[in-house]
Amino acid sequence: MNAIAIGLFYGLKNIAAQVFFWRIFYLAFSSNELSFGTILGVWLLTSLPGLLVGQIIRRKDWITKLLPAVLLLDLAGFCSASFILANGRNIFSIFPGQIFDFTQIVLLSLMVLAPLNFFSGMEFVFLTNSRKPPDNIYRGELLGFLSGGIITTFILLPGHQKTFLYFIYLLSVIVCFILTSKGKIKFLAPIFILTLFFSPVKIYHQIESKNLGRISSEIDTPYQNIKIVNRQSEIVIYQNNRPTTTLPAALTLNNETAVVFSRIYQPESNKWLVIGNYPELTAITDKIPELKIIWWEADKNFARIIRQYLDPTKFIFISEPLPTYLNSGQKFSLVLIYGRCPQTLAENYFFQKDFFKIVQNALTPDGWLVINIGGSETYYTPELKKLNASIFQTLKEVFPNVAAWPGENTLLIAGHQTLPGRPALLNNFSRLNLATKIITKNYLSYYLSLAEQKNFEPELQKTKVILNTDWQPAAVFYYLTYWRTSIQAKCPGRIIAFSILAIIALIIFFYFLRCPAKKTIRSIGTTAFSTFLFYWTLLALFQVRQGYIYQWIGFFSAAFMLGNFLGVNLKIPDFLAEHFHLITDIAATIFLIISTIIISKTSPDNYTFLLLTLGAGLIVGWQFLALNTQSISTEPAINIIYIADLVGSGLGGLVSGFLFFFPINLGLVLIFLILVKLLNNGLLIFSRSQRHIPE
C-alpha cells in the first residue's frame, strides 16, 4: 500500500507539472498548439539520463541517503524551468510576433525540461527500488495520472498558474514525508520550511510580475453575482462564483506590437478610435499617457461592467452604432482594429469594403487604418494566406497605400499618404521614447529589416482570392476553412517524405527485432513509438474538430492513462496468451481506422473524444500487458522496460511534433500510423519465427 501511495503522489505531481508547463509553453511558443507533440517527446526523453543514472547507483543504502536530496533537487528543477521559460525569448533572440521553428522548440524544451526531468527520472528509479513490489509504483503512478488529470482540468486550470506550483510543491512534501516516516521527519521539516522562501512559486511570481508589471487583484462590481479577478496574465469574470469569461489582462505581445506600430506611423496623433473587444485599453494609455481613446464595444453588457474602471478623462465610450458615429463628421488620425476576427457575419463587417470606405472618409489626410488580424507564420497554411490576402486586396481597392507586416499576427496598415520608410519609423520610435520591456529599438530595427516582409506583400497581392464585401463575405469563409484545416492543410507532395520515413522505420525495426537479445524491450520501444503517434493523432483530430486543445489536455491524459491502467490489469485467457500481442496490434489498427471514420464523418463532442482516448489507452495497456508477460519480473527489468517505454514514446513525440508542425495532410499521417502498426504486426510474427533465445 505504501508503494501505491508513493506512486499515486508521484503521478499526481507529474501530471500537474506537465499541464502547468504546457500552459507556459503554449504562451512561449506563440500559442502554437502543434508544438505539443514535440514538447511531450522532449519531456519523455529528458527523463532518460536520470533513469540511467538511477539504475547505476540503485544500491539500497545509497537510495536511502540520496532520495530526500533528489526530491529537493526535483523542486529546484521547477525553479530553473520557470526562469528559463520566462526568459526564453531573450535567450534565443526571438522577438514578439516572430515564430519559433521546430529546432528552436526542441532546444528550448530541452533547456527547460532537462534539469527538471533528470531528477524526476532518478526519483522514479529510487522509488521502484525502495518499495516492494516495484510494479505497485507504476500502478500508483497510473492512478495519480488519472486523478491528477481530473484535478488539473476542473480545479487547477480555472485558477491562477501559481496554484499548480503550490500543488506540486505540496505533493513533493507529502512524498518525502512518506519516505522518511521512520524518524526522519523532524530532521527534514526545517529544510522544507526554508525552501518555502525560495520556492518556485515565489521565483515564478517575481519573474511574471516583472515581465508583465501586473499584480493579481480582485475588482469589486456593483452587481452582487459578478466579480472580476485581474490576474497577472488574464482577467477572469466570475458570475455566481463560476468563471464565465477569460480575457488577456496586460497588453499582449502581439497587441503591444500593434499599438507601438500605430504610434510610430502616427507620432503626432493624440486621438484614436479603437475597435476592440478586450479590456487592454488601459495598457495602451499606460504606454502612451497623452493619448485619448474613443472606444466602441459590441457587447454592451461587458462594456457596462468594464467602463466603470476606465479613466473617463482618457476614454470615451461610444454607445451609438459605429457607422453612424463615423459618418457624423468626426475625423481621426488613427483607427485601430484589434481583438477581432471575421468569424461571423457580424464581425466580418469590420473587414469588408464598405466599412473601409466609411473609415477612409473619417480619417484625416495623414491618418492611418491599422488592422491586427490573426496570421500565424508558425503554421502558415494556404487557407490562412487566402484570409490575409482577401483583406489585404480589399484594402488596396479602397486605400492607395497599404503595408502588410508578417508575424504571429498580421499587421495591415492603410492610408492616403505615402508609407514612411524604415529610417523614419526608427526615428519616430526614438523621438517618442516608446521603448517597453518587450519592444526595444533593437527589436524594431530587426523587425523592420525582415526579409520575410519583402516577400510577404507580393505573395498576398498575387494570391487569387475573392474580395471581402457585405454581400460576398469571403473572409468568413476563409477564416472558417483556415481553422478547420490548420492541421490537415493540403500538401500531397509530403507523401514522398512519408514513404522514405516508412522505409527507414522498416529497416530499423527489422534490425532490432532480428537481434536475439532483449526482444521484449525493443518490442516495448517500437510499440510505444507507434502508440504515442496513435495517441497524438487523436489529440490532433480533437484540435481540428473542436478547437484549442490545451484546456482539455489534462483530462485526455487522464483518460488515456485510465485505459492503460485497465488494460494492464486484465487477465489474458490461456488460449489467447501466445498470440495476444498480435491480436492487440490488429485491434489497435482497426480501432485507429474506425475512430478516424467516426471523427471525420460525424461531429463528436468532447466526451466522445474522451471515450475514444480511453479506448486507445485500453488497447495500449493490453499491448504492454502482453509484453510484460514475456519479461522477467525483477526490479531492474521493471526500470529497463520503463526506459524502453520512454525512448519509444519520446521518439514518437518528436516525430509527431515534426510531422504536425508543418502543414501536412492529416490523412497521410493516419496512413503512416496504420502502416507503422501493420509493420509492427508483421515484424513480431517474423521475430517469433526465429529461434527463441532466453533474455
CATH of the domain at 389: 3.40.50.150
Terminal Cα distance for the chain, rounded: 31
Alpha-carbon gap, residue 150 to 305, rounded angstroms: 33
Are residue 570 and residue 523 in the same domain, yes or no?
Answer: yes
Contact 8, 141 (CB under 8 A): yes
Angle 421-367-453 from CA coordinates, rounded to 5°: 35
- Looking at the structure, tell me whether residues 194 and 281 fall in a common domain: no
Q: What are phi and psi of 517, to 5 degrees?
A: -90, 145
Residue 401 has a pLDDT of 87
Output the CA angle 397-479-457, nearest 5 degrees.
Answer: 45
Better pLDDT: 610 or 694: 610
Whole-angstrom CA distances from 478 to 221, 338, 389, 474 are 39, 18, 10, 6
CA atoms within 13 A on the CB side of 454: 4
Burial class (CB in 10 A: 0-12, 13-18, 19+), 321: exposed
- pLDDT of 371 over the 60 cut: yes
Question: Cell numbers at residue 453, please?
Answer: 516582409
Q: Assess whether pLDDT exceeds 70 at residue 393.
A: yes
- 183 and 119 share one domain: yes
Q: What confidence category does residue 162 fall into, taking pLDDT thresholds of 50, 70 and 90? A: low
Listed residues 436, 466, 484: the one ending a domain: 484
Q: Which set of grid coordinates corresponds to residue 498?
A: 512519408
Instruction: For residues 202 and 238, state if they share a domain.
Output: no
Residue 419 cell numbers, joined = 508609407
**Which residue, among 374, 388, 408, 381, has the nearest Cα to 489 in the 3D structure?**
381
Q: What sections of 363-473 are H helices per DSSP?
A: 382-398, 422-432, 441-448, 451-462
Confidence of residue 331 (pLDDT cuts 50, 70, 90): confident
**CA distances from residue 98 to 27, 307, 410 in whole angstroms, order as listed:** 13, 33, 11
Does 133 sit behind a cis peptide bond, omega within 30 degrees of 0 on the bond before it? yes
Can you give the length of the chain in residues? 695
Question: What CA–CA distances, in Å, run from 118 to 50, 60, 694?
Answer: 4, 20, 32
Q: Does 73 share its domain with 195?
A: yes
Residue closest to 422 by CA, chosen among 396, 406, 446, 395 = 446
**622-657: buried (b, 16+ CB within 10 Å) or exposed (e) per residue?**
bbbbbbbeebeeebebbbbbbbbbbbbbbbbbbbbb
Does residue 413 contact residue 419 with C-beta atoms inside 8 Å?
Answer: yes
Average pLDDT for residues 122-130, to the nearest whole number? 68
Q: Report d(CA 534, CA 328) in Å as an integer.
A: 59
**What was the pLDDT predicted at 492?**
34
Which domain CATH number covers 625?
1.20.1250
Q: Computed over its alpha carbons, how large is the radius of gyration of the chain?
A: 28
Answer yes or no: is pLDDT of 461 > 80.
yes
53-78 mean pLDDT = 66
Which residue, among 334, 455, 468, 461, has the nearest Cα to 394 in the 3D structure?
Answer: 468
Banded pLDDT at 642 (limits 50, 70, 90): low
Containing 678, the helix (H) or strand (E) segment is: helix 666-689
Q: What is the mean pLDDT of the chain?
A: 63
Out of 53-62, 379-388, 431-440, 609-618, the most confident range is 609-618
Q: Report, as an integer, the average pLDDT of 632-656.
A: 58
Once rounded to an integer, what is the mean pLDDT over residues 254-268? 65
Q: Do 336 and 445 share a structural domain?
A: yes
Give the model's confidence band at 132: pLDDT under 50 very low, under 70 low, under 90 confident, else very high. Answer: low
- At 187 the pLDDT is 47
**Residue 293 has what pLDDT?**
67
> Pairing mode, if any, of strands 332-337 and 363-374?
parallel
Count of domains for the chain = 4
Question: 124 and 108, same structural domain?
Answer: yes
**What proportion of the chain, given as a percentage, has pLDDT over 90?**
1
Better-scored residue on pLDDT, 450 or 562? 562
**146 burial class (0-12, 13-18, 19+ CB within 10 angstroms)?**
buried
% residues pLDDT > 70 (the chain): 29
Pick the range with the lowest mean pLDDT from 73-82, 122-131, 325-334, 438-447: 438-447
423 and 412 share a domain? yes
Of 31 and 573, more confident: 573
**CA–CA separation, 338 vs 689, rounded Å?**
64
Q: Is 243 helix (H, G, I), strand (E, B) or coil?
A: strand
Pair (512, 449) in one structural domain: no
Q: What is the DSSP string of 208-234?
A: HHHHH----EEE--SSTTEEEEE-SS-
Q: Is 479 found in the same domain as 598?
A: no
What's the pLDDT at 298?
Answer: 59
494 vs 386, residue with greater confidence: 386
Structure confidence at residue 677 as a pLDDT band (50, 70, 90)? low
Number of neighbouring beta carbons within 10 Å of residue 288: 19
Query: What integer pLDDT is reported at residue 42 of this predicted model?
Result: 77
pLDDT band at 463 (very low <50, low <70, confident <90, very high): confident
CA angle 367, 371, 374 (to 5 degrees): 170
Cα separation, 8 vs 143, in Å, equals: 6
Residue 493 and residue 478 share a domain? no
- pLDDT-wise least confident of 20-34, 361-375, 481-495: 481-495
pLDDT at 469 > cutoff 60: yes
Last-in-domain residue among 456, 484, 512: 484
C-alpha cell at 401: 497605400
Higher pLDDT, 35 or 681: 35
Domain that residue 63 falls in? 1-213
pLDDT band at 634 (very low <50, low <70, confident <90, very high): very low
CA gap 596, 545 in Å, rounded: 12
Is the same domain home to 228 and 158?
no
Among the three residues 247, 268, 291, which one is the final residue of a domain in this structure? 247
CB contact burial 589-619 (16+ within 10 A = b; e otherwise): bebbeebbeebeeeebeeebbbebbbbbbbb
